A and B are shown apart, each in its own frame.
Chain A
Amino acid sequence: MSEAIITFKNVSKTYILYKNDRARFQALFFKPRNPKTNKALNDVSFEIYRGESVGIVGDNGAGKSTLLKMITGVAFPDEGEIIVNGKVAALLELTAGFSMEMTGRENIYLKGYILGLEDAYIKQIEERIIDFAELGDYIDQPVRTYSSGMKMRLGFAINVNIEPDVLVVDEALSVGDASFKRKCKDKIKEIISAGTTVLYVSHNAESVREICPRSIYLRKGTVIFDGTTDETLKVYQDYKEAQKNKKKK
């Protein structure tokens, strides 16, 4: 196998649940004494290699979002180490992270700078992004004047056109009308076939099977299974069946 592009080494993340606002205020100055905690990720380790497509499956609250947030660099682990080698494009919350008063074009540059891109390179991909987002003259209007569909299109267009090394996709992604949705799906497929590493989060077993040869199954912050998608989904579904049967009893 080629080099690892994402490495998780014994990563744990605990959210502290403050009892009330006073406890929260106190926590600024003192370490809270045996607070209630929620362990979102517990000793998670895995490696993802360049060019792999990996599905992340699990129920709500299994830690999928926390895991993705860490890969995109929004959240940080309490323990352990995360190494990501390359540009990460996240198709998670497309309308977020814009500066509302800036124009669409300026936001392209803002995003580019955050990702550490050079002026010349951003200039190069600028037109492609504008074309893809189908914004026309709106590109030089402030983003606050955009409809939510337009914001999503711009967010999507930026993320897929920066030639990412890692693409993080949430299946529940909504990108507006049907024709644009199709365009997005095609674009994602194109990126995958170009050999980009993809992390795919979904509840839908079929779509994971379609895209990802390998999958990781998370339950309550722990990696339960990491292997081929068929095996992983089997473990996942067996567990679900078992849960159902338990309830019936």
Chain B
Amino acid sequence: MITSIFKEHKGFGKQIFLLAKNELIKTYKGAVIGPGWAVVKPAFTVFVYWFAFSVGIKTMKTMHVNLGSHDPFSIDFFTFMFIGIIPWFFIQDSIIQGAKTLRTNRQFITKVKFPVSTILTYTALSRLYVHLMLMVLMYTYVFFAIGPSWYNLQFFFYCPLMFIFFLALSWSTAPMSAFSKDFESLIVSIMSGIFWLSGIMYDSYSFQEPLKFIMLLNPINFFANGYRNCFLYHRPFFLYKTELAVFLAEFIVVFALGIFNYNRLRKKLPDVL
């Protein structure tokens, strides 16, 4: 039972990549700039936040990040926000689209025999392509604005971890959303709130205890700060041990719950969709 998700993926790898590619085509076909839209929307969002905070509310021009040393780490707001918001775009899409995926791909569940959990994988993979495209843009900026560093390579730690974490989360949320549209709406409606509760626009390290610890419970902070570890702070991922430990504990819980919920609801999906 525990291994049903892995069993469904076995031997299906090539198809998953093909289906992911087609998921992208489905999203962007018929538009003049096609996949360019995957960049336009986040770029405009970044511009709006920068404009609102740095030009509108004039106070946010420089960020002072408390990394535990004597002097705070100072950086201009745009760079700080830009590096943190790139993983957020992936996270946001993963949570919202991940929850909706089974409903939108119901033809594979109610009409034919299909390894259902791979639906979650190939749609997640198509979002990863978009994320990597944005990463190319971001890294170009980082390369010239901050300069390259060996710490940049930690991206290959954070990014796969982020992919798996939110995939495992969708093992729970997707079947539950397929069951109840209320659950799906619930997720969609709390998303913009979650954005402001995460340290994307501000620095979650700068709070006083116990708030600083409470912020660690939000896995989104782990990734926003993680990307900043790679590209901005140039810190190893294991430096802040409490943060890593809290995240890993959450990871195990989400993973186990995902397998539990998927197995619990998988066989009922064809009846409710």
Contact = CB atoms under 8 A, between A and B. Distances in A.
Contact of B19 (A27, A90, A99): A99
Contacts of B109: 74
Contacts of A15: 271
A25 B12 CA distance: 33
B77 interface: no
A138 interface: no
Interface stretch (A56-64, A108-116, A197-205, A215-223): A108-116
B29 A74 contact: no
Interface string A124-163: 0000000000000000000000000000000000000000
A189 to B, nearest CB: 25
A74 B112 contact: yes
A106 interface: yes
Contacts of B272: 24
Interface string B152-185: 0000000000000000000000001001111100
A65 B132 CA distance: 45
Nearest to B181: A21
Contacts of A110: 15, 18-19
Nearest to B264: A28
Interface string A65-87: 00001001111100000000000
A115 B203 CA distance: 50
Nearest to A111: B112
A101 B11 contact: no
Given A28-B180, A96-B112, A75 B26 contact: no
Contact of B113 (A25, A28, A74): A74
A20 to B, nearest CB: 11
B15 A75 contact: no
B25 interface: yes
Contact of B107 (A22, A96, A102, A116): A96
Interface of A: 15, 21-22, 24-25, 27-28, 69, 72-76, 88, 90, 93, 96-102, 106, 109-110, 113-114, 116
21 contacts: A15-B271, A21-B180, A21-B182, A24-B179, A24-B180, A24-B182, A24-B272, A25-B180, A25-B182, A73-B113, A74-B111, A74-B270, A96-B107, A97-B111, A100-B26, A101-B23, A101-B29, A102-B22, A113-B12, A113-B15, A114-B112
